[in-house]
């Protein structure tokens, strides 16, 4: 499912469409004080979405779908309706980590819900402010609720069992977008066990960005990933991270490069390492 428009928008592009009746701006910043940051200062007109309640259905144990499992599509329908998002909406999402927090996750969910005109703001909140986009501390109210409903996710997903089989296939590839230190098992700030899925390859999401922290041009991303995916079966390309959030940053980059959107393993390392699956580090396979 290719984008109707580029999945990335520049701050100047955002400014040019901010007054359109179809434009809906989403603040997807995360963290313990994300709501407070939003209440204090957000891009004028932006509506806040919460990673834990709007974009996930968190279980008691991460072994059950990871740290940020997808919610039921019917629940996400309610989120879309509350925000006034329809199939005709032009949704622009930002966070303060250039998509790697939750903006790319919300973009993925919109695309998987059939919303084709969804974009992530290149450079995020800071870049928009620098470009002169007005900020506000107003309580934003959607112009109207929508009746948009979805019953299933339209983008490809992989579960833990498919990942376990895929890593054994030489024509398939499982890409882990976490940092090299986490992949190698040298550190793990979020999950109880450090390491990676045996057979996975590490391409940190930061390599999708240039030195200024902006997304690389499509041609550069295309060349980079064409080399990685050469000879691989496009039906068996799986992207994952720690909890299925940052993986969407690389899926976004692939779409930006004009490459078909691959499968997302939402459970990611947080599910895998809590289910007694084989694990590997830089020096050890289990």
pLDDT per residue rounded down to tens, the chain (286 residues): 455 699 999 999 999 999 999 999 999 999 999 999 999 999 999 999 999 999 999 999 999 999 999 999 999 999 999 999 999 999 999 999 988 889 999 999 999 999 999 999 999 999 999 999 999 999 999 988 999 999 999 999 999 999 999 999 999 999 999 999 999 999 999 999 999 999 999 999 999 999 999 999 999 999 999 999 999 999 999 999 999 999 999 999 999 999 999 999 999 999 999 999 999 999 876 5
pLDDT computed for residue 4 by the predictor:
65
CA distance 85 to 144: 9
CA-based angle 187:188:192, to the nearest 5?
135
State which of 94, 121, 136 marks the end of a domain.
136
Q: Judge if 221 and 173 occupy the same domain.
A: yes
**Do 266 and 109 touch, CB atoms closer than 8 A?**
no
Q: Judge if 90 and 45 occupy the same domain.
A: yes
248 is an active site residue: no
Q: Catalytic one among 24, 128, 241, 261?
A: 241
State which of 136, 151, 184 marks the end of a domain.
136
Helix %, strand %, coil % for the chain, to 5? 30, 15, 55
CA distance 70 to 198: 24
Residue 16 domain flag: yes
Residue 268 domain flag: yes
**Do 27 and 94 touch, CB atoms closer than 8 A?**
yes
Q: Judge if 106 and 226 occupy the same domain.
A: no
CA-based angle 54:60:63, to the nearest 5?
100
β-bridge partners, 157: 264
CA distance 171 to 169: 5
Q: Which two tokens stand for residue 53?
A: 């309640």
CATH classification of the domain holding 74: 3.40.250.10
Neighbours of 175 (CB within 10 A): 23
Number of compact structural domains in the chain: 2
Q: Which residue matches tokens 């499982």?
A: 174
124 to 21, 242, 276: CA distances (angstroms): 22, 22, 37
Structural domain span for residue 111: 8-136
Query: 133 Cβ partners below 8 Å, 6+ apart?
Result: 11, 14, 15, 18, 43, 44
Q: Is the dihedral of CA 205, 100, 103, 5 positive or negative?
A: negative
State which of 120, 136, 152 marks the end of a domain.
136
Q: Is the dihedral of CA 154, 160, 161, 167 positive or negative?
A: positive
Residue 110 domain flag: yes
3-state class of 224 per DSSP?
helix
Q: Judge if 239 and 201 occupy the same domain.
A: yes
pLDDT computed for residue 100 by the predictor:
85
pLDDT computed for residue 281 by the predictor:
97
Nearest to 28 by CA among 68, 87, 74: 68
Q: Judge if 124 and 19 occupy the same domain.
A: yes
């Amino acid at each position: 499912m290719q984008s109707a428009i580029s999945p990335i928008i520049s701050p100047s592009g955002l400014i040019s469409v901010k007054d359109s009746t179809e434009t809906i701006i989403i603040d997807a910043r995360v963290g313990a004080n994300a709501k407070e940051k939003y209440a204090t200062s957000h891009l004028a007109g932006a509506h806040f979405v919460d990673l834990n309640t709007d974009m996930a259905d968190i279980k008691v144990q991460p072994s059950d779908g990871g740290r940020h499992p997808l919610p039921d599509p019917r629940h996400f329908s309610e989120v879309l309706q509350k925000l006034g998002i329809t199939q005709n909406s032009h949704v622009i999402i930002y966070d303060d980590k250039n998509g790697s927090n939750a903006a790319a996750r919300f973009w993925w969910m919109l695309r998987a819900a059939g919303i084709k005109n969804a974009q992530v703001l290149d450079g995020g909140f800071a870049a928009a402010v620098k470009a002169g986009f007005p900020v506000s501390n107003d309580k934003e109210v959607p112009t109207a609720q929508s009746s948009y409903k979805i019953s299933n996710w339209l983008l490809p997903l992989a579960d833990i069992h498919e990942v376990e089989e895929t890593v054994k296939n030489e024509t398939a590839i499982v890409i882990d977008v976490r940092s090299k230190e986490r992949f190698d098992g040298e550190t793990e700030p979020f999950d109880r066990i450090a390491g990676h899925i045996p057979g996975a390859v590490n391409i940190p999401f930061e390599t999708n960005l240039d030195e200024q922290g902006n997304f690389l041009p499509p041609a550069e991303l295309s060349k980079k990933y064409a080399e990685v995916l050469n000879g691989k079966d496009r039906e068996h390309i799986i992207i994952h991270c720690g909890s299925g959030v940052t993986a969407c940053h690389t899926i976004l980059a692939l779409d930006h490069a004009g490459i078909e959107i691959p499968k997302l393993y939402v459970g990611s390392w947080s599910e895998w390492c809590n289910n007694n699956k084989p694990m590997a580090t830089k020096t050890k396979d289990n």
